[in-house]
Structure 1
Amino acid sequence: MTREELEAQLTGRGSVRARLRLSACDGRSRSGLETVARLVLSGAGFRVSPGVRIEGVGEVDLLVERRIVVECDGFAYHSGRYEYREDRRRDRALAARGLAVLRFTYEDVMSDPARLVAEVRRVLVRRPRGG
């Protein structure tokens, strides 16, 4: 279903609220978890880009202030040996490019979004632009 088709179905009671929520969606996010993290971080005033492709790494979940990669790791997609090794390889490749990597679980994002914001802010303070 396209966004336009979905919007056409939003009529009647609750449609205004639903349209507002739909306007916050971004097709580059691949999961609800990434969407929640993006909205929490952007709501805290950070510049957040979802689904950014980085050479030698692939697509990262979120790039915050062009300096921190935030990966939202749901258990279903990060529980196998291959995924575990691939995540570590990607982290090393990102570090070699000067990007900090912060990984958050579903529980981290959904249960304590303030911690997500605080940890991103803490890394930004410690890693000034160009540092």
Structure 2
Amino acid sequence: MQIRLDKARKLIDELEKTLNATAKDTQAVRERLGQWLTTGEKSLRKKGAAALSTARKRADRLSGALGELEKHLAKTLEKSLAAKPADTPPKKSPAKKSAQKSPKKAPASKAAAKKRTAKKAGSKRAASK
């Protein structure tokens, strides 16, 4: 078999042309991608800055609303405290608790009563003798 060098050279040339064209296209795509990234970054920066300013505005609005709420609550609390003493009568002071009384000495008094009755009974016995 004889190798056809002419056809092989033609195929190699075509492959080389195709490869060069592909490389050129690849280079162009890389450049476009780089441009898109830089412009995209700029647009992303702009969008990010806009979003950040919006978030700051919302945070400022929220802090303002919280300040207004605090003022409103303070006014309401002052009004309720001012109205409370007039509506309710003053509280009476609690009664003083007396000290605990010592328990009665009932057994001692009963014993004394028994002694008295025993003396009286003894004197009656002595009188009867």
Structure whose alpha-carbon radius of gyration is higher: 2
State the TM-score, normalized to the length of structure 1.
0.17
Which of 1 and 2 has higher RCO (CA within 8 Å, sep 6+)? 1
Pick the structure with more strand per residue.
1
State the TM-score, normalized to the length of structure 2.
0.17
Pick the structure with more helix per residue.
2
